[in-house]
Amino acid sequence: MMRRKKFVLILGTIFLTHAVSALAQPTKKVPRVGFLCAQNCRENNGDAFRQGLRELGYVEGKNIIVEFRYAEGRLDRVRQNAADMARSNVDVIVTGGSADTLAAKESTKTTPIVMSQDSDPVGSGFIASLARPGGNITGLASLSSELTAKLLELLKEAFPRVANVIVLRGPGRGARTPRDLKSIALSLGMKLQFHDIKQPEDLNGTLDTIAKANIGGLVVAGGPFATGQRKQVVEFANKSRIPAVYYRSEFVDGGGLMSYSPNRDDLARRAAYYVDKILKGAKPADLPVEQPTKFELVINLKTAKQIGLTIPPNVLARADKVIK
């Protein structure tokens, strides 16, 4: 009986020791990631980012929390969302575009910021260089500033007679200046006009102005307004029978004529890699900014036929995707 009591006492002591030890150990913190979206988060490839996290072994609600904030294209809301997110002490902020990155940069100098697709982070002053970003910002560059020049070249190649072109741009565009692009256009035999949109409600008046201008082509070069308003922009271009090229393939999926762009889902998935590195201790300053290696040309032949345009065979042959 004494041996049994002693055994029970020892067993109870061991159990209590382990229980107290377990209670004393701090609960492991679940990291929180904030995702800033100038439009809605689906438009900013939020689903692709989540997929990237899953591929790295993260399960939302279990070993990571992702909070999305969208601004419906309004710059004042972008800034407010960034400030709120910085105050909430998330572990990492992911940005969906240049306007989001700027707002996040202005809101915090300490919280790591991962760009999922910034047009020109060096020219915009977000990082010191692609190889050595410095500061608290890193991620991926979509090269949209260079892309505008490529869109001009594509427009000229597809429609050689195009001379007068309007470039429609929104806030958060790359650092290519109108002077740079005008010089490129001049070498292609084109003249450029620029129309910049600061808020979504500015678009109606701008399209009315464009409709009254004598133009032969339209380049939609980017900005958060354009993604959310793409249906309106595409309908305007098609109704006006203006050859238009776009900086995102979603425009062509929605009835636009042609687009040339990096695969933005790939960029968003890759942003998850940066988040993973940072959560494991890496510093943004030490993570080189990556550039896209693959660009996609998408052509909508159905739209070309509807507005009476013919896509040259040499351009059509290069298309990665053709919508018939």
d(C-alpha 171, C-alpha 73), whole Å: 9
d(C-alpha 163, C-alpha 190), whole Å: 4
pLDDT digits (tens, 9 = 90+) for 193-240: 988 887 777 888 989 998 988 899 999 987 655 566 788 999 999 999
Q: What is the pLDDT of residue 146?
A: 75
pTM here is 0.77
Q: What are phi and psi of 34, to 5 degrees?
A: -105, 140
Residue ranges of the chain with per-residue pLDDT less than 70: 1-27, 41-44, 144-145, 171-178, 223-228
d(C-alpha 177, C-alpha 145), whole Å: 9
CB atoms within 10 A of CB 63: 13
Sign of the alpha-carbon dihedral angle for 301, 156, 294, 117: negative
Side chain identity at residue 304, one-letter code: A
d(C-alpha 119, C-alpha 141), whole Å: 6
Q: What 3-state class would DSSP assign to 274?
A: helix
CB atoms within 10 A of CB 79: 18
Domains of the chain by start residue, with CATH? 32-142+263-293 (3.40.50.2300), 144-262+296-323 (3.40.50.2300)
Within 8 A by CB and 6+ apart from 190, the residues are: 152, 156, 162, 163, 164, 165, 217
Q: What 3-state class would DSSP assign to 105?
A: helix
CB 95 within 8 A of CB 113: yes
Within 8 A by CB and 6+ apart from 222, the residues are: 119, 144, 147, 148, 169, 170, 172, 173, 174, 247, 248
pLDDT digits (tens, 9 = 90+) for 60-70: 999 999 999 98
Q: What is the pLDDT of residue 74?
A: 79
